[in-house]
Structure 1
Amino acid sequence: MKITDITLDRLRLELDPPLCAAWDPEPRRHFDATIVRVHTDEGITGIGSGDTMDGFDAFRSLFLGEDPLDITRHVRAIETANFHGGHYWPLEVALWDIVGKVAGLPVATLFGNAARTLPAYASSAELKSPEERVRTALLARQAGFRAMKIRVDRDRVDEGIAAVAAVRAELGPDFVIMVDLNQSWRMAGDTADASDLVKTRRIVRRLAELDVFWVEEPLPYADLDGFRTLRADNPGVRIAAGEMHHSVAELVRYLENDVLDIYQMDVVLAVGMHRARTLAELARFKHRQFTPHSWTNGIGVLANLHVAAGVGGGPYFEFPYDPPGWTPERRDFMLTKPVMINSSGELEVPSAPGLGIELDEDAVERWRIA
């Protein structure tokens, strides 16, 4: 089998009303998605998505004419291209989709088949008042979620912690709460300093008193000693990070130095599926956990799900969900139907060969950017 072509469909969904994500410097008025298709001479096409694939045209020739099943070769080639261009892990997703289709198996089976479902947590996007966050938490529980992640802004700490306290008081001890401080990396244009270690230690201590399951991205990635200090300070709360960490070598250093409780590398944004699987296995050997970031679109959600389910990730899987600003329908506008949890609040691994992606070609045509 040979790769005959790699095509990109660039899509844009206008957002009205806009999404006011906690990590964005400005409200998000459109949502972009790049669909990667790897075509073969045997008529099998793999599909991927996640990062923008900007600049990929210069590297397409590295893969044309090659066997799509040579995954290790392609991962290494993608890493060399990433060094000079963007982040091209959606291509690896499409290649794994082909591998699964050729094998007649879900990709999660090829990655280990440790789980067929994973409990999902509702991952919020927007900063909300305590009253509004309680309302959305109640709706999330009604939809089947048993856990929620709440955003706390570095400049509105008291309001954010009040929202966490209000949800804990209303939904009780059995509802799991995570908190994301969004301090490890920055969106373009956000030049503000991260919270320093003294301030962050105080924040995490306050959150620990509210029985928060984990505190996510509390410090910049470079502050390994700071992460370890937070863990030592608060043995009752887990520290999570790594969603956008692009360095495999640095993540290995994190594991060697026992920096985190939970590793969150996104397979379509950070290190790819093959490398994430290796790092996840290393984390498990150290009795640490892997539960990937999944804030792209439904294809990115599925790619992360297959890896996490394959290696036995968890204990929860991120499900972007914060109606009305962020819904599965908005997130998955390019699919025939949005990826959804079941009535038990779990995400099921699709049983179809490959990743189980079903593109809505009419939607692709409608939202394609010329």
Structure 2
Amino acid sequence: MKIDRITCRVVDFPLKGEFHPAWARGRNQPNLLMVLIEVETDDGVTGIGAAHAGLEAAITIERFVAPYFIGQDPMYVERLVPILRDTEILGAPVYCMEMPLWDLIGKVARVPVARLWGGYSDRVPAYCATAELRSPEQRVEDVRRMIAEGYRAVKFRFHLPDPRDDLKVVEAVRGAVGNQIEIMVDANQAGVEPGHGGHRSWGFPLALEVARELERMNVRWLEEPLPRHDYDGLRRLRDRLDTLPLAGGEDNHGLHEFKLLIDRGCYDILQPDALLSEGVGQMRKVAALAELAGLEVAPHTWGNGIGLMANLHLAAAIPNCPFLEFPHDPPSGWTAAARDQMLLEPLVIDAEGCVRVSDRPGFGLVLDEERIAHHTVSTHVVSARD
């Protein structure tokens, strides 16, 4: 079996309503931009993946990855992974290219990828990841709806000019629903979208002040309280806390950075992302290192339903994953339906707030080909015949 053809389609899906993510410096995000990746073999098997990116990722794959994947056996993933690492010095990070290889292998083996990797569970608890900044009153209303829908955990963003005002959201929700739902907080201090204004860097004193307040309110974790490479600051902050875990890692790249995060004692919970941080198979190595260090792994997800599916299979295959991130923030334009609009079978939570792993082989993806075709803006193909 050899890789015969690689196709990247840049797809620009519209959102039905306005969406102002906290990390976007106040800007409206009108769309979901992604690259659909298909790796086809000479035996007619196709592996599916995606990039949380646009044209830059498609061109990087076309120029720096596809020429060295074509003609290779997709079963030998570890031989191909170094190409993805080397590519980052020339183009956009495309660790996402490991995903279609594992999807393909699962299809050939006729088993879900999570089971191919040894399996730990057939479902994973989800937390409802919000993105916008809203008033305490609105968030109380949102959380009551989440509880009714079956969610057992929720994540809020802290991005107001004064984080003491952000704390009022957690106080209001705790006062309204008590401990009916777990609460996580994301400060997004590791990285935000480029631009001017709309973001305040915390620094260590403010991060410690906020963390201690969240600790008092029994928050499950504080995410990205300091810049992603402030290893000393993160360790110092973690050492000053008693019960509040620190989480992060989505904006760190490569196994070497995650080893640094572990060795330097930066986080209690690592959050690699199969489309951003490292290849989904390589993330199993991160999870194993974390397990040995007594740490948890809760994969980050935001961009699209294909990436969420990859992170779900990883989460279901490891013993140290407490939660799966489940982006969903109605009534904004970013909902679970919008996130998964490239799929005919969107991911949902069950009555106990968990996401189940499909029994279909590979990652179990069923694409909405008609919708994808309608919103495709460019197609990039490299084949053995070129």
User: Do they fold alike, i.e. is TM over 0.5?
Assistant: yes
Q: How far 1:247 moved relative to its partner? A: 3.4
Identify which of 291, 307, 318 aligns with 2:298.
Answer: 291
Q: How far 1:239 moved relative to its partner? A: 0.3
Equivalent position amino acid for 1:208 in 2:
E
Give the direction of change, closer, same or farther, for the CA distance of 1:154–1:242 in structure 2 (3 Å limit): farther
Q: How far 1:279 moved relative to its partner? A: 0.9
Equivalent position amino acid for 2:147 in 1:
R
Q: Partners of 1:216 and 1:50 in 2: how far apart? A: 23
Native 8 Å contact 1:289 1:313 kept in 2: yes
Q: Which stretch shifts more, 187-196 or 117-126? A: 187-196
Given the alignment of the two structures, is residue 188 of structure 1 paired with residue 188 of structure 2, yes or no?
no
CA displacement 1:269-298 (0-9 Å, x = unmatched): 111112211011110111110001011111
**5+ residue gaps, structure 2:** 379-386
Given the alignment of the two structures, is residue 77 of structure 1 paired with residue 83 of structure 2, yes or no?
yes
CA displacement 1:162-218 (0-9 Å, x = unmatched): 011111111112410000001011212257562111111111111111110100000
Given the alignment of the two structures, is residue 24 of structure 1 paired with residue 24 of structure 2, yes or no?
yes
What is the DSSP-based 3-state SS (H/G/I as helix, E as strand, rest coil) of the residue aligned with 1:61? helix
Identify which of 251, 259, 269 aligns with 2:266.
Answer: 259
Native 8 Å contact 1:22 1:127 kept in 2: yes
Report matched runs for 1:1-370 at 5 Å: 1-25=1-25, 26-52=27-53, 53-55=57-59, 56-59=61-64, 60-153=66-159, 155-189=161-195, 194-325=201-332, 326-370=334-378
Give the direction of change, closer, same or farther, for the CA distance of 1:200–1:154 in structure 2 (3 Å limit): farther
Q: How far 1:154 moved relative to its partner? A: 5.0
Q: How far 1:73 moved relative to its partner? A: 1.1
Identity %: 35
**5+ residue gaps, structure 1:** none
CA displacement 1:227-269 (0-9 Å, x = unmatched): 1222222211100010121132122122122221000010111
CA displacement 1:116-166 (0-9 Å, x = unmatched): 111100000101100001111111111110000011115141221101111
CA RMSD of aligned residues (A): 1.4
Give the direction of change, closer, same or farther, for the CA distance of 1:190–1:38 in structure 2 (3 Å limit): farther
Equivalent position amino acid for 1:364 in 2:
I
What is the DSSP-based 3-state SS (H/G/I as helix, E as strand, rest coil) of the residue aligned with 1:18? coil
Q: TM-score, normalised by structure 2?
A: 0.93
CA displacement 1:58-113 (0-9 Å, x = unmatched): 12211111111110011111111122111212221111100101111111112220
Q: Which stretch shifts more, 95-104 or 47-56? A: 47-56
Q: Which stretch shifts more, 360-369 or 227-236? A: 227-236
Equivalent position amino acid for 2:33 in 1:
D
Give the direction of change, closer, same or farther, for the CA distance of 1:179–1:57 in structure 2 (3 Å limit): same
Equivalent position amino acid for 1:314 in 2:
C
Q: How far 1:312 moved relative to its partner? A: 2.3
What is the DSSP-based 3-state SS (H/G/I as helix, E as strand, rest coil) of the residue aligned with 2:377? coil
Q: How far 1:335 moved relative to its partner? A: 0.6
Equivalent position amino acid for 2:39 in 1:
V
Q: Which stretch shifts more, 113-122 or 309-318? A: 309-318
Equivalent position amino acid for 1:37 in 2:
E
Q: How many residues align?
A: 370
- Larger relative contact order, structure 1 or 2 (CA cutoff 8 Å, min sep 6): 2
Native 8 Å contact 2:232 2:264 kept in 1: no
Equivalent position amino acid for 2:42 in 1:
D
